[in-house]
Amino acid sequence: MQETNGTLPRLELKLCAPRGFCAGVDRAIQIVELALLKYGAPVYVRHEIVHNKYVVESLRNKGAVFVEELNEVPDDGQPVIFSAHGVPKSIPAEAQRRNMFFLDATCPLVSKVHKEAILHDRREREVLLIGHAGHPEVIGTMGQLPEGTVHLIETVADAKSYQPHSDRQLAWISQTTLSVDDTSEIVRVLKERFPDIAQPHKDDICYATTNRQEAVKFIASQCDALIVVGAPNSSNSQRLREVAEREGCQKAVLLQRAADINWKDFEGITSLGVTAGASAPEILVEEIIEAFRSHFDVVVETIRTATEDISFNLPRELREGVSTTG
């Protein structure tokens, strides 16, 4: 970039808080790391533990072996870990049939949605899941009930056209990483069409997703550009980029690493927002800030819109081993 009068151009960098790791992601990573300490390598992980290449590679370097299906796991007695996104009921059932030792790293807030689906079905309700087809969390939630029992609603158009499959009362649940605004619009349509539809006692969209979107909403219109640090297959990261665009930020981009920065995209800016998806480690945020320091005279201001102090318990098998494994 061009320097101005022999000095770097000034850049006001607004750093969202909260950002990055949520309690569910932190717990899932800890489960893999503690399993490696307690049981030794290899530890098998079904699917990416969280959607972040940096995290996956760092765990792979420590001895984690990532697989897509259990048939890739040898019968060697080593632990198998299910990812934070959750799995269909058929997966732990298969692991039990094979006498595998498995640890479930499903985020407790995803498990809450699983329990809601099961409870609605027991109460003879027809279950609608608001979410994105093909996402691991959606596959896991739909897989809590027999095939064809849970019906996916992806868009407002789906909500407008949905025809019940039975005379049962309807109930809706949702993926935890959706856009708060998009989901609200879908729910509005469902309630208009089906006034008696049952809903969660507490929103299914998780606190971390909501908080990160609110932080982006707060700063987006004040920034010439905004960077979301996260992976392209991370739902909550993609939603952050969409929220920034919707709130008036002219250029919102999703980047995995500083090496992915296209500097032409940021020519002439004087203000930049930075946040990170719930599966992106802080080291990647710091990496991007340092990259901008080489092109701008950066002044960082942290904008805090919420405080998070939530933590989740580890599986009992690992809690018992923590004191002896350091």
Residue pair 306/211 in contact by the 8 Å Cβ criterion: yes
For residues 308 and 18, is the Cβ–Cβ distance under 8 A? yes
User: Rounded CA gap, 273 and 54, in Å?
Assistant: 22
Q: Are 237 and 228 in contact (CB under 8 A)?
A: yes
Alpha carbon distance 296, 299 (integer Å): 9
Does 147 participate in catalysis according to the annotation? no
Which H or E element spans position 241?
helix 235-246
DSSP assignment of 151-197 = EEE-SHHHHHH---SSSSEEEEEE-TTS-HHHHHHHHHHHHHH-TT-
Count of positions (residues) in the chain:
326
Q: Is there a contact between 218 and 191 (Cβ–Cβ < 8 Å)?
A: no
CB 277 within 8 A of CB 255: no
Q: Is 79 helix (H, G, I), strand (E, B) or coil?
A: coil
Catalytic residue chosen out of the listed positions 137, 147, 214, 267: 137
Closest CA to 130 of 48, 192, 196, 185: 185
In sequence order, what are the beta bridge partners of 225?
Answer: 272
Rounded distance between C-alpha atoms, residue 295 and residue 11, angstroms: 9
Query: Is the Cβ–Cβ distance between 106 and 84 less than 8 Å?
Result: yes
Interatomic CA distance for residues 241 and 60, integer angstroms: 28
Helical packing angle, 207-220 and 235-246, nearest 10°: 30
Which residues are catalytically annotated? 137
